Amino acid sequence: MYPNDIGQVNIYPWDCKDRLTENFLVSEFRDPIAFSRNHFTLIHPSLIVLMQQLRDDIGKPITITSGFRIDLVNIRVGGAPKSYHTMGYAADWTADIDLEAWWETMTSLKNSKVRYDLVGGAAYYSVHNYIHVDVRGRPGDKLVTWQ
């Protein structure tokens, strides 16, 4: 049994004000379009753990630019048809750091299996300056990356 297989994705009411961790609120993962339609938010428990792990290691605020997306939004932004964002498994984020350097650090740590074992897929979008992480698959499996 792997952590990402345990339990189901968490479902939060559209207007949920809960704090998830020391640094993250449910609202930060919320889809603005979903919010306007009173649509719930999905967040995988492993994604919550992963984002706080990143926040702790970076030591600076993380801005989630896109967390959960309802299909309508995913289609509009040209996301993959079965985006992990629509399952509550993914977050795009940025921070006031050298993101490219952090990308190298994060992926090398994942590949050495020292840290970030929860990351299933990751991508660094240099043009828009954000990193995508998702908790697909099984921790310990090879990291799926693209740029």
- Report the relative pairing of strands 144-146 and 121-125 from DSSP bridges: parallel
User: Least distance from C-beta 143 to Zn ion, angstroms?
Assistant: 15
Query: Is 132 an interacting residue with respect to Zn ion (CB under 5 A)?
Result: yes
The residue range among 47-55, 56-64, 88-96, 114-122 that interacts with Zn ion, by the rule CB under 5 A, is 88-96
Nearer to Zn ion, 34 or 90 (CB): 90
Binding range to Zn ion, per CB under 5 A, among 5-13, 56-64, 100-108, 126-134? 126-134
Residue type, 48: I
Closer residue to Zn ion, CB minimum distance, 117 or 134: 134
Measured over the CA atoms of residue 129, residue 135, residue 141 and residue 144, the dihedral's sign is: negative
In this chain, which of 86, 88, 92, 119 binds Zn ion, going by CB under 5 A? Answer: 92
Cα–Cα distance, 28 to 5 (Å, whole number) = 24
Q: How far apart are CA 82 and CA 5, in angstroms?
A: 18
Q: What is the dihedral of CA 114, 119, 125, 129, to 10 degrees?
A: -70
Segment interacting with Zn ion, rule: CB under 5 A, options 1-9, 15-23, 35-43, 128-136 = 128-136
Comparing CB distances to Zn ion, the nearer of 55 and 132 is: 132
Angle at the Cα of 86 from the Cα atoms of 89 and 80, rounded to 5 degrees: 100
Q: Which two tokens stand for residue 124?
A: 């660094």
Question: Nearest distance from residue 90's CB to Zn ion, in Å?
Answer: 5
What residues line the site for Zn ion (CB under 5 A)? 90, 92, 132
